[in-house]
Structure 1
């Protein structure tokens, strides 16, 4: 699994897990600020960015691979931040290896299948047969940018490293990832999963998220210590509002040190 670290090695660790169709580069705008106080660990999940495809993309299998990585790095009591479906991996990690997770931050993570909004047309075109398998390997940088920006409230500048990482994702891997994430959520809603865990939870949502119904953030109220709604922000808080997102992450993870 591809890993990038920043910040003092002796500082309290924070793990950043990206969502489907992205890579660790998604977190680029918030890393410098986090690294001033924390040991920041970014990963590319299997089949994404610079990490090779995996035999299984089930959420629990992804969580087990992340756990193995943290063991290899000698890290425990980690503040784990998951964006979108990365929040499912983070939650599964806390459920399977509670010793590794100090707190959970779920960012733009849909709570249940009912909260999912209709998919943007550009994403349908790029993913669904018969055109998806043909278009996917021929995607231009402009098409990738358009696809990612379709999930934002307004167009944002995207890191070149993120575009390159998305380009590396195989079509089959991405489709399988989406199916496995959907199965994980359909099996049990996120608030129910979180209720079974003994870990602090912080939820961040954009109030203009076009992927998940923004009001569904309230579904987390029984299990989250705090829910923050970012005004005018879509599905990509770290890219759309990096300063506000950084402040929230530091306030939550830093206040408990």
Structure 2
């Protein structure tokens, strides 16, 4: 009798035939190994790709991000070419990265512009505890720059931001190439006044009550000393101040006073040997503009007074402020 062909139906196979079982199972086992190996390769590739994407996003010089740092998350905004020299802009008390908006387009055409919301300000964390001391704020800025792979940077600080920039230069001299300070008071006896609202805010109980009841009108009166008489603060600046907690506002203010009381700024900067640009508005209502001359004690410091401008030149006269910064930066980098 002629043997019938092997059926494709597993039910037709003879269970007593030992040679048929391996012929069916080996291909299946092989397929399983191939599928498992493929899945592992896909997962590994996804993990590597995700790591590369995170690293790229951290290093990218365009866009906004939140960096989780010790003490709280810090908001960072970046503009300009990623491979250009880094220029770090640090705002003052009650402000945020938005205070630099008018000058960023002029600066970002040639430099990697990095703006940071200090702890307690803007979109950064506002903890109820500590972390607001100037050296701590500076340390946090340094950490943020490390996360962004910035090894060298020119720092520009406005008012309180100038103290943070100076403290970072004290801590990380290898990172800070040069400093530009905008209406940053050199010593406490140069302080004029924070205005009636500023004085009341600092009074226990009264200040807390005033802060709870704050309206746009109250905030605008408080901000009026941040500009020359007649300048109207944009709504965004009002919103920046409103978004702060009472604790963050007063703790940062006291931290600035403590830092300056411990040692005048020219005395701190002199031993650092960093190129220095000082910009002051002649009509500054918070610090005597004549006190800018104190910075001449720092070797080769450049001091520029802008007429018709108050405490915030980058908002009141953006073209003039940007031009002074660009000229300074060009001279610093050209001499390296």
* 1:2 and 2:78 aligned: no
User: TM-score scaled by structure 1?
Assistant: 0.95
* CA offset digits 1:41-60 (Å, max 9, x no partner): 11110001111124321111
Partner of 1:46: 119
Greater Cα offset, 146-155 or 86-95: 146-155
- Name the CA distance, whole Å, in 2 between partners of 1:220 and 1:46: 28
- Aligned pairs, how many? 257
Comparing 235-244 with 48-57, greater Cα deviation is found at: 48-57
Q: CA-to-partner distance for each residue in 1:52-76, whole Å, 9 max, x for gaps? A: 1243211111110000000000002
Paired with 2:148 and 2:234, the residues of 1 have a C-alpha distance of 27
2:134 is equivalent to residue 59 of structure 1: yes
Aligned residue in 1 for 2:329: 253
1:17 aligns with 2:93: no
Aligned to 2:240: 165
**Higher alpha-carbon deviation: 126-135 or 55-64:** 126-135
Q: 2:234 & 2:79 partners in 1: Cα distance? A: 17
Indicate if the aligned counterparts of 2:139 and 2:168 stay in contact, CA closer than 8 A: yes
Alpha-carbon distance in structure 2 between the residues aligned to 1:160 and 1:42: 20
Is this contact kept in 2: 1:205–1:235, CA < 8 A? Answer: yes
The CA deviation string for residues 208-229 of structure 1, in whole angstroms up to 9 with x for no partner, is 1111111110100021521000
User: Which of 299, 316, 327 is the matching residue for 1:240?
Assistant: 316
Q: Distance in 2 between matches of 1:26 and 1:91?
A: 19
Structure with the larger RCO, 1 or 2 (CA within 8 Å, 6+ apart): 1
RMSD (Å), alpha carbons: 1.5
- In the TM superposition, residue 241 of structure 1 has moved relative to its aligned partner by 1.0
Deviation of 1:157 after TM superposition, in Å, equals 4.4
- Secondary structure of 2:272's match? coil
Q: Distance in 2 between matches of 1:162 and 1:39?
A: 24
Whole-angstrom distance in 1 between the partners of 2:261 and 2:319: 33
Shift of 1:163: 2.6
Tell me the residue number matched to 2:183: 108
Is 1:222 the counterpart of 2:293 in the alignment? no
Q: 1:36 aligns with which of 109, 113, 133?
A: 109
Query: Which stretch of the first structure deviates more once superposed, 86-95 or 221-230?
Result: 221-230
Distance 1:150 1:191 in 2: 24
**Contact 2:138–2:168 (Cα < 8 Å) also in 1:** yes
Q: Deviations over 1:113-144 (max 9, x none)?
A: 11111331132234433332112133223332
Aligned residue runs from structure 1 range 77-226, under 5 A: 77-223=152-298, 224-226=300-302
Q: 2:307 aligns with which of 224, 231, 238?
A: 231
What TM-score do you get using the length of structure 2 for normalisation? 0.73
Q: Which runs of 5+ in 1 are unaligned?
A: none
**CA deviation vs aligned residue, 1:168-192 (integer Å, no higher than 9, x gap):** 1110111111111111100000010
1:228 counterpart SS class: strand
Q: Which secondary structure state, in structure 2, belongs to the residue aligned with residue 256 of structure 1?
A: helix
Cα drift, residue 159 of structure 1: 4.1
Query: Structure 1 CA distance, aligned partners of 2:237 and 2:77?
Result: 13
SS of equivalent residue, structure 2 residue 226 = coil
Q: Secondary structure at the match of 1:109?
A: coil
What residue in structure 1 maps to residue 54 of structure 2?
A: none
